[in-house]
């Protein structure tokens, strides 16, 4: 059974002067259990609309989303999700501990479990020192980390995170990446949106690229990087004296190696030259990389 199953999801908003905005067009996507999936797209691509729809906050104009086989329209499906909204904000007169108590009760957790899980998630997100201070004194990064802490509180199996790295400094970003990696190690599923392409390369199994409400590509990160491999920059030396650098295209590598074995030259260094994820992403979004589309 898939953790998340998105079937033919579309969403139209009524914009200014009754103009319709097609924010999402026929999105189909399945996320397997235990996967970390990065959902990439430029501003206005439809990422938040997708996330709000699959967490049951807004209704799709068409299509369905299922969480572990249960429609998100049903509360029992939504209860299995840990959700971090884009730009979370809280009642700022409350302390983090009070707020987490509220969240725990919403998920009908027993009080002793709420207390224990509160300690766990505050420690994990390095917020224990601030636990009993009103949130009005929190920095932007602390609010963002508390947003993730509340998504973790009821220990769900699926995490849907809208821009989890946003507003964080490099330390905060590293911490959130570590938390996502730990969730994966525990067999949890994570679906998160981002603009930050390098975060996808480091922590995701697969990625999807969305633009103008349409899914342009879905692939494993490994495949994207492999497909982007264009060739190798190889430094060779002759008799250990003269060196030269040659560029060998990917499909010529085997033949080149055979030639090297037969010759008296030796290889000093091999450096893969590849398109990175950023180029892949930009190529798709600009419509310039038709070959990579599905």
Which residue, 47 or 97, has its beta carbon nearer to ligand ATP?
A: 47
- Report in angstroms how near the CB of residue 190 gets to ligand ATP at its nearest: 18
- Report in angstroms how near the CB of residue 49 gets to ligand ATP at its nearest: 3
- Report in angstroms how near the CB of residue 209 gets to ligand ATP at its nearest: 11
- Report in angstroms how near the CB of residue 99 gets to ligand ATP at its nearest: 24
Which residue, 58 or 273, has its beta carbon nearer to ligand ATP?
A: 58
Q: Distance (Å, rounded) from C-alpha 286 to C-alpha 31? A: 26
Which residue, 46 or 283, has its beta carbon nearer to ligand ATP?
A: 46
Query: DSSP label at 153?
Result: T
Which residue, 152 or 210, has its beta carbon nearer to ligand ATP?
A: 210
- Report in angstroms how near the CB of residue 263 gets to ligand ATP at its nearest: 53
CA 44 to chain centre: 17
Contacts of 86 (CB under 8 A, 6+ apart): 48, 51, 162, 163, 166, 193
- 128, burial (CB in 10 Å: exposed 0-12, middle 13-18, buried 19+): middle
Which residue, 41 or 283, has its beta carbon nearer to ligand ATP?
A: 41
- Report in angstroms how near the CB of residue 13 gets to ligand ATP at its nearest: 3
Residue that is written with structure tokens 């999402």 in the block: 24
Q: Are 137 and 68 in contact (CB under 8 A)?
A: no
Site residues for ligand ATP per CB under 6 A: 13, 15, 21, 23, 41, 43-49, 86
Q: Distance (Å, rounded) from C-alpha 129 to C-alpha 159? A: 25
- Report in angstroms how near the CB of residue 44 gets to ligand ATP at its nearest: 4
In the beta sheet, which residues pair with residue 231?
Answer: 249, 273
Strands (E), the chain: 4-14, 20-31, 36-40, 62-67, 70-71, 81-84, 158-162, 189-194, 206-211, 214-220, 229-238, 242-249, 265-274
Q: Distance (Å, rounded) from C-alpha 107 to C-alpha 117? A: 12
- Report in angstroms how near the CB of residue 19 gets to ligand ATP at its nearest: 9
In the beta sheet, which residues pair with residue 213?
Answer: none
CA 95 to chain centre: 29
Q: Distance (Å, rounded) from C-alpha 106 to C-alpha 160? A: 18
Contacts of 148 (CB under 8 A, 6+ apart): 84, 125, 161, 164, 176, 179
């Amino acid at each position: 059974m898939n953790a998340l199953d998105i079937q033919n999801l579309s969403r139209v908003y009524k914009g200014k002067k009754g103009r319709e905005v097609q924010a999402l067009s026929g999105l189909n996507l399945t996320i397997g259990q235990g996967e970390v999936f990065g959902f990439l797209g430029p501003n206005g691509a439809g990422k938040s609309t997708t996330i709000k729809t699959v967490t049951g906050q807004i209704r799709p104009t068409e299509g369905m989303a299922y969480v572990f086989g249960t429609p998100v329209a049903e509360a029992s499906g939504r209860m299995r999700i840990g959700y971090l909204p884009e730009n979370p904000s809280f009642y700022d007169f409350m302390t983090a501990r009070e707020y987490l108590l509220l969240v725990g009760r919403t998920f009908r957790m027993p009080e002793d479990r709420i207390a224990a899980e509160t300690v766990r998630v505050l420690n994990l997100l390095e917020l224990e020192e601030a636990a009993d201070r009103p949130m009005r004194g929190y920095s932007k990064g602390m609010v963002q980390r508390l947003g993730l802490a509340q998504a973790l509180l009821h220990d769900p199996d699926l995490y849907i995170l809208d821009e989890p790295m946003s507003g964080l400094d490099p330390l905060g970003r590293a911490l959130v990446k570590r938390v996502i990696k730990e969730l994966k190690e525990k067999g949890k599923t994570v679906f998160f949106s981002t603009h930050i392409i390098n975060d996808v390369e480091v922590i995701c199994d697969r990625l999807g690229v969305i633009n103008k409400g349409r899914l342009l590509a879905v692939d494993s990160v490994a495949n994207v990087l492999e497909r982007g491999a264009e060739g190798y920059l190889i430094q060779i030396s002759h008799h250990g004296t003269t060196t030269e650098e040659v560029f060998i295209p990917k499909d010529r590598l085997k033949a080149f190696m055979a030639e090297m074995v037969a010759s008296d030259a030796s290889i000093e260094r091999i450096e893969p030259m590849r398109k990175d994820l950023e180029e892949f992403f930009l190529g798709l979004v600009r419509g310039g990389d038709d070959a990579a589309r599905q």
